[in-house]
Structure 1
Amino acid sequence: MLLLLTWCAFPTAMKAAEVEDKLLTTPASPEVLAKGLEADGYHLGVSVYVWGYPLVRMERVAREYTDVPSPKPDTSYRAPLNQVGWAQELATPAAKDMPTANNDTYYLSAVVTLNEPYLITVPDTSDRYYVIDVFNMWQELEHYIGRRTTGTKAGRFAVVPPGWSGQLPPDVKRLDVTTNKVWLWGRLGAVGATPQLVHDLQAKFKVEPLSGKPSTATLSPLPSIANDELGFLTQLAFALKSNKVKTVDEALFGQFARIGLTNDGFDPSKVRPETRKGLLRGLADGPAVSISSFASTATRRNGWDWVTGLDSFGFNYPLRAMVAGPYLGGNGEKEAMYPIRYTDADGNVLNGSNKYIVKFDREPPVGAFWSLTMYNASDKMLVANPIHRFKVGTDTKGMIKGSDGSITIPIQAETPTGEAAANWLPAPKGDFYVMLRLYQPSQEILSGAYQLPQVRKVN
Structure 2
Amino acid sequence: MAAEPESDANYQMNQQPSKDDDSVPVTWENFPRAQLHKEMETFAEWGGFSEFYHFRTLIPLDKQVETLPNRDTLYSIGVFDLTEPVTITKPDTGDRYQSMIVLNEDQYVKMFEYGPGEYTLTQDEIGTRYAAVLVRTFVDPNDPDDVETAHGLQDGLTVSQGSVGTLEIPNWDSQSRDELFDAIVTIGKTMDDFRGACGDVDEVHPVKFLLQSVTTFGFPESEALYVPRIPDQNDGETPHILTVEDVPVNGFWSITVYNSDWYLEENEYDAYVVNNVTAEQADDGSVMVHFGGDPDQPNFIYTPEEWNYVIRLYQPHEEIIDGSYQFPESQPVE
Q: 8 Å contact 1:92–1:103 — kept in the other structure?
A: no
Aligned to 1:197: 149
Q: 8 Å contact 1:122–1:156 — kept in the other structure?
A: yes
Q: 8 Å contact 2:248–2:316 — kept in the other structure?
A: yes
1:381 to 229, 253, 263: 263
Question: Which amino acid is 2:259 matched to?
Answer: N
Aligned to 1:272: none
Identity of aligned residues (%): 24
Q: 8 Å contact 2:257–2:301 — kept in the other structure?
A: yes
Q: 8 Å contact 2:72–2:138 — kept in the other structure?
A: yes
Give the whole-Å Cα distance in 2 for the aligned partners of 1:427 and 1:290: 19
Aligned to 1:415: 295
Question: Which amino acid is 2:207 matched to?
Answer: P
Give the whole-Å Cα distance in 1 for the aligned partners of 2:95 and 2:233: 40
Per the TM alignment, residue 313 of structure 1 is displaced from its structure 2 partner at its CA by 5.2
Give the whole-Å Cα distance in 2 for the aligned partners of 1:452 and 1:59: 34
- TM-score, normalised to structure 2, is 0.82
Alignment deviations for residues 388-426 of structure 1 (CA, whole Å, 9 cap, x no partner): 2211112335x132x54433222115425xxxx012222
Q: 8 Å contact 2:276–2:287 — kept in the other structure?
A: no
SS in 1 for 2:30: helix
Work out whether 1:447 is the aligned partner of 2:322. yes
SS in 2 for 1:50: coil
Per the TM alignment, residue 140 of structure 1 is displaced from its structure 2 partner at its CA by 0.5
Aligned to 1:275: none
Per the TM alignment, residue 374 of structure 1 is displaced from its structure 2 partner at its CA by 1.1
Structure-2 change in CA distance of 1:389 and 1:92 (3 Å): farther
> What number of residue pairs does the alignment pair up?
305
Bigger share in strand: 2
Question: Which amino acid is 2:88 matched to?
Answer: I
Within 5 Å, give how 1:13-412 maps onto structure 2: 49-68=27-46, 79-146=47-114, 151=115, 154-162=116-124, 176-191=125-140, 194-209=146-161, 213-215=162-164, 217-220=165-168, 222-223=170-171, 225=173, 288=183, 291-292=186-187, 295=190, 298=191, 305-309=192-196, 310-312=198-200, 314=202, 316-325=205-214, 327-343=215-231, 348-360=232-244, 362-378=245-261, 380-397=262-279, 399-401=280-282, 403-412=283-292
Structure-2 change in CA distance of 1:290 and 1:321 (3 Å): farther
- Give the gaps of 5 or more residues in structure 2: 1-25
When the two chains are superposed, the root-mean-square deviation of aligned CA atoms in Å is 2.7
- Give the gaps of 5 or more residues in structure 1: 1-47, 69-78, 163-175, 233-282, 299-304
- TM-score, normalised to structure 1, is 0.61
Give the whole-Å Cα distance in 2 for the aligned partners of 1:386 and 1:56: 35
Bigger share in helix: 1
Give the whole-Å Cα distance in 2 for the aligned partners of 1:80 and 1:452: 36
Aligned to 1:253: none
Aligned to 2:10: none
Question: Which amino acid is 1:355 matched to?
Answer: P
Q: 8 Å contact 2:86–2:159 — kept in the other structure?
A: yes
